[in-house]
Chains A and B, each alone.
Chain A
Amino acid sequence: MRIDVIKPGLATSIQDLGRQGYYHLGIPPSGGMDQRALRAANLLLGNPEGAAVLECALLGPELRFEHACCVAVCGAEMSPKVDARPQPLNTVFEVPAGATLSFDFVRAGARAYLAVAGGIDVPEALGSRSTYALGGLGGLGGRPLQAGDQLTTLTPAAPARVGRALPEPLIPRFAKAYRLRVVPGIYAHRLEAHSQERFYAETWTVASEADRVGYRLKGGSTLSFLEREPPFGAGNDPSNIVDACYPIGSIQVPSGSEPIILHRDAVSGGGYAMIGTVISADMDWVGQIQPHQSVRFEAVDLEQALAARREYQDTLAALRQIP
């Protein structure tokens, strides 16, 4: 089963649920930034939940299918078209042999997940098919798709059912403005108290540098760090620390301006102070925020983060029960 890449889209890459156990060597987990949407697309088709899919950011690819194949698109509202005829989102449909699958402009969200029956077949690298472009690892040649690439698929275990769709309550609703829940900490104590309060009170705007490594934010006040004698090895800027590991979801603030939320292709460490971490249940949403959209941060404690985690898991359980 062969798929030809006619146009690659803006940043289309092969992703599954990611690789674990190599972060201490600088290799991040990678994997779909919206894991719920990735799982949903696979589950609709009857694929293994973590089969490799195409993550299509902002501008979708154009693909020609050599053979007929069932597909499903979940995540961002970027409607698929087969030979220019619109197809439903969050629903299994068939692409006939020789047909071209393309996408409309994105209406909401930032990343659509295109799953194909059987899943995309590339060799596993360190236990995952996910592309980690910074390290040239995984996916197809360790890079996003290019025009002229050829993809192949694995044989599906069972036939997919055309028309099978996500029930309405399981379809995410994308907003113009987002509220991200953050557990304050790590080096938050090094900020001036008023800066910490303002960080959570102000509205931030996502900058154009918003990719799989991290999301940069603008528009809020520059954060002030407490003055101090720099500890040996940290560097002179008050936002510097002795280079340490960066948790995924952590928010670092180089020079006090333009916070950066690290995501699944994160640099694994560095010398900037982190002031808190986005809770795991909200990380999928981060991957669906478009540049220029607004974000507010809400400080929560561990109990609230764990409650949100349980809700998230309930959603995944419901996805696995779709009739």
Chain B
Amino acid sequence: MTASSPPAARYSLAADEYLFVEVSEEMTLEAFFRALSITQRLRELALPGLIEICPANASYQVRYDPDRISAQTLIDTLETLDAEVAARQRNTLTTRVVEVPVLYDDPWTRETLMRFRDRHQDPSGTDLDYAAQINGLPDAEAFIAAHSGNPWFVSMVGFVAGLPFMYQMVPRERQLQVPKYLRPRTDTPKQTVGYGGCFSCIYSVRGAGGYQMFGITPMPIYDPSGQQPHIDDSMIFFRPGDIVLHRAIDRATYDRLDADAKAGRFQPRVAPFDFDLDAFSRDPDAVAEQVKEVLHAH
């Protein structure tokens, strides 16, 4: 964020228990960062009457008890926090880089996407073929190279338990974009790597979904049974601000990692990282390179 003042956030009351705050109508990492910073400061304040604080991609939401804190007091507090956050010179975040192995064009999502072809924009090919074509890439291989070639920023966790929404860390003109299915599917394999709008995601559980399907990861990201050593008591692996690098793997590697996961010995490759938004805004490619170096040095 530069010294020029950002557009004012839009506050909207969602009945008597929720406050919805839109930082920006469009997706930008600056808007995400502002929402995350405000919600982190709000959490630190630990005001009585706050029940849930939920940062999202370019907005956030607070659930509060109106018997303990009024909507107006909450809005006043958030406006103050917003001004404080905007006035800060550096926007940094101590976070981590996580490698997510992906078997692209796997048999399970392929079977699922064929079953729901009547709900797709282009029933003649696969979701990968379609995504490559509308992004002006020669083939699915090229799309996979673009998807796994640069890091992604976890800009929201939700929809269902632990599902990360990820925003690609490249200049906007190089962002991949694909529409959602014409009508949502009633089935998506667990740990499918999906794609909708400018967001990549990993479906944490089997169920309905509208994003295009590109592959599957053997890495567990949601653990209601408490069997996975890399997931804490919250049962959820990802947090907003995490940085993800997808690594394309072959079937043999997938099978080995999947067996590890089932035996409760999967350990993702993780490295600590200090993300600097200003440095990223100046030179996104340099920061992307740093992310890769940090992970590979770890």
B180 touches A245 (CB 8 A): no
B55 interface neighbour in A24, A134, A136, A182, Cβ under 8 Å: A24
Shortest CB-to-CB span from A166 to chain B, Å, is 25
| In the complex, chain B residues whose CB is within 8 Å of the CB of A136 | 205, 224
| In the complex, chain A residues whose CB is within 8 Å of the CB of B13 | 183, 185, 277, 302
| In the complex, chain B residues whose CB is within 8 Å of the CB of A241 | 25
Cα-based distance from A309 to B54 in the complex (angstroms): 23
**CB closest residue in chain A, given B28:** A232
Is B165 an interface position by the 8 A CB rule?
yes
**Per-position 1/0 for A223-266, Cβ under 8 A of B:** 00000000111111000111111011110000000000000000
| In the complex, chain B residues whose CB is within 8 Å of the CB of A157 | none
Is A105 an interface position by the 8 A CB rule?
no
> Interface-forming stretch among B59-67, B145-153, B269-277?
B59-67
B17 touches A27 (CB 8 A): no
A277 touches B18 (CB 8 A): yes
Q: Decide: A235 near B197, CB < 8 A? Known: A21-B51, A277-B18.
A: yes
B interface, size bucket: 35 or more
Is A74 an interface position by the 8 A CB rule?
no
B224 touches A242 (CB 8 A): no
> Interface-forming stretch among B155-163, B253-261, B284-292?
B155-163
Residues in B97-129 with C-beta less than 8 Å from chain A:
none
Q: Decide: A25 near B26, CB < 8 A? Known: A233-B198, A279-B16.
A: no
A134 interface neighbour in B20, B27, B198, B207, Cβ under 8 Å: B207
A26 touches B236 (CB 8 A): yes
Q: Decide: A24 near B12, CB < 8 A? Known: A136-B224, A244-B61, A269-B56.
A: no
A280 touches B16 (CB 8 A): yes
| In the complex, chain A residues whose CB is within 8 Å of the CB of B15 | 182-183, 247, 249, 276-280, 305
Q: Decide: A267 near B16, CB < 8 A? Known: A23-B54, A23-B63.
A: no
Task: Tell me the interface secondary structure of chain A in the complex.
Answer: mixed
Residues in A256-300 with C-beta less than 8 Å from chain B:
267-271, 274, 276-281
Is A316 an interface position by the 8 A CB rule?
no
A245 touches B54 (CB 8 A): yes
Q: Please report B residues at the A interface, Cβ cutoff 8 Å.
A: 12-18, 20, 22, 24-28, 51-61, 63, 66-67, 71, 156-163, 165, 167, 172, 177, 179-180, 196-199, 204-205, 207, 222, 224, 234-236
Q: Please report A residues at the B interface, Cβ cutoff 8 Å.
A: 20-27, 125-126, 132, 134-137, 142, 182-183, 185-186, 231-236, 240-245, 247-250, 267-271, 274, 276-281, 302, 305-306, 309, 313
Using A23-B63, A245-B20, A302-B13 as known contacts, list a sample of 10 further A-B pairs with CB atoms less than 8 Å apart, ordered by residue number in A. A23-B158, A25-B161, A25-B234, A26-B157, A125-B224, A126-B234, A233-B197, A268-B54, A306-B16, A306-B66
Q: 13 A-B residue contacts at CB 8 Å?
A: A24-B158, A25-B236, A26-B157, A26-B158, A26-B160, A135-B161, A137-B224, A234-B27, A242-B24, A243-B159, A245-B56, A268-B54, A302-B16
